[in-house]
Every structure is written in structure tokens, then in C-alpha cells.
Amino acid sequence: MNDNIKAVIAECTHASDEERITFPQVVGKLMAAGVERYHADLVRDEKIYYMPDGENERTPCYAVEVEPSHAFAASGVDAAVRAIQRGEIKYREFCARIAKAGCVGYIVSMAGKRAVYYGRSGEMHVEMFPGAK
């Protein structure tokens, strides 16, 4: 992975954590850099970004201040997604809300145009990107 891609990854991570950039902007920048997908671990406070050839970059990220609930509530995750899409909340509050709903991590696939939020026991909520089929 070249240094330019690593710089895009670092900037997307920090800009998200600092609430300077929206999810659609992150996805656009990562797609332009050729990133295929990323995994956000809300327990380990890290993200791993993957290229199509398997190369990857691990980076620390914002530590969610809420311990994820043991029970997963897809409806709570969905409500947090809708709130951030409407601009009612920003990234840190979004992370707190999905953690309260039992989400321990999520995977964003630019190729699949979706985000998959999952709980401790493998329960999940799949959210397609707006406009994706």
C-alpha cells in the first residue's frame, strides 16, 4: 500500500473522529483511493482498511465512551443510522447510540455499497448505501 493511500486512510479516520467529515464524504475519498472495505471495532478502538489485493492498514480511532450492550437491537442501530442521515447527530453520538444498541463493530463495503453492523453473538443489521440496489 502506498503512502498516498495511507494518508487518505489516516485523514478519513481522524476527520471522522473529529466530526469534520460525513460518512458519504469518507466513502467517496476511500473509493477514490481504491480502498475496498473497512472494519471498525468499537471494543478495540481501531479500524482496519483493506485493498482489493488484501493489503491492509490498521489505525487507532475514537474510543466510544459507551460500553456496548450485551443484547443487540437492530431497531436501535437503524434509528441511529436514520438520525445521522438526517443530520440530527454527528459521528461520536452515532457510535454511542449503536453501542447502546449492542453493536460491537461494523464493516463498510464500498464494493457492496453497504454497512453491516454486528453484535456480540453475530446478530446483524445491514444498511445499504442510500440509492444502492
Chain segment 48-91, per-residue pLDDT in tens: 999 999 999 999 998 999 999 999 999 999 999 999 999 999 99
Residue 133 has pLDDT above 70, yes or no: no
Assigned CATH for 3-128: 3.30.1810.10
Domain boundaries, the chain: 3-128
Q: How much is the pTM?
A: 0.93
Q: What is the pLDDT of residue 131?
A: 76
Residue 132 has pLDDT above 90, yes or no: no
Confidence at 130, pLDDT banded by 50, 70, 90: confident
Question: Which is it for strands 37-41 and 46-50: parallel, antiparallel or unpaired?
Answer: antiparallel
66 phi and psi angles, rounded to 5 deg: -115, 130
Residue 124 has pLDDT above 90, yes or no: yes
Residues 6+ away with beta carbon under 8 Å from 4? 33
